[in-house]
A = this chain, B = another copy of it.
Amino acid sequence: MPKYADKADAGLPGDPALFKVMTEISIIANLADREFERRMPGGLTTAQFGVLNHLLRLKAQQTIGEIAGAMQVAQPTMSSTVKRLHEKGYVEFVPDTKDRRVKHVKVTRAGRAIRDKAVKTIEPGLAYLKEGTPGADWDKILKELTRLRIVLDAAG
């Protein structure tokens, strides 16, 4: 049951627009995670899907640290996510020949298969969202959100 569908926005009248934007972003992030994970096969989470998708699109192996940087999360977070993918057999670890501290993460066949399945699961949902927001210029909104993210990131 939707809880907010009858309200103009998630904020209160006095809030500045950007504050409301941040509130919406927080709610959307949570709702989207829930929707995706409800539909994703094999108990994949969005974090786990993100890693598989990232590596497969790059067509490359990466270290845990590199993946953490690319996904914009802390290294221990990525250690944990990769560990779960490993337990499920979706990635394997390739030792570095020159530096024994390093683990190269490689997607397995099973990992590729589950990711392809996940992509197919997501596509109709994305189409649904796009149809549900006619007239929205997502390319333009993307540009602004990217600018916002860069400023926010630089502030840290």
The interface of chain A, by Cβ under 8 A from chain B, is 2-5, 8-10, 12, 14, 16-35, 38, 46, 50, 54, 57-58, 69-70, 72-73, 122, 125-126, 128-130, 132-133, 136-139, 141-142, 144-156
- Within 8 Å CB of A26, what residues of B? 29, 32-33, 46
How many of these chains are in the complex? 2
Main secondary structure of the interface of A (DSSP, over half): helix
Judging by beta carbons under 8 Å apart, are B152 and A35 in contact? yes
Judging by beta carbons under 8 Å apart, are A9 and B156 in contact? no
Judging by beta carbons under 8 Å apart, are A31 and B149 in contact? yes
Judging by beta carbons under 8 Å apart, are A148 and B28 in contact? yes
Judging by beta carbons under 8 Å apart, are A130 and B28 in contact? no
Given A9-B146, A24-B145, A27-B72, verify A155-B35 contact (CB < 8 Å): yes
**Residue of B2, B22, B150 touching A5 (CB-CB under 8 A):** B150
Judging by beta carbons under 8 Å apart, are A5 and B154 in contact? yes
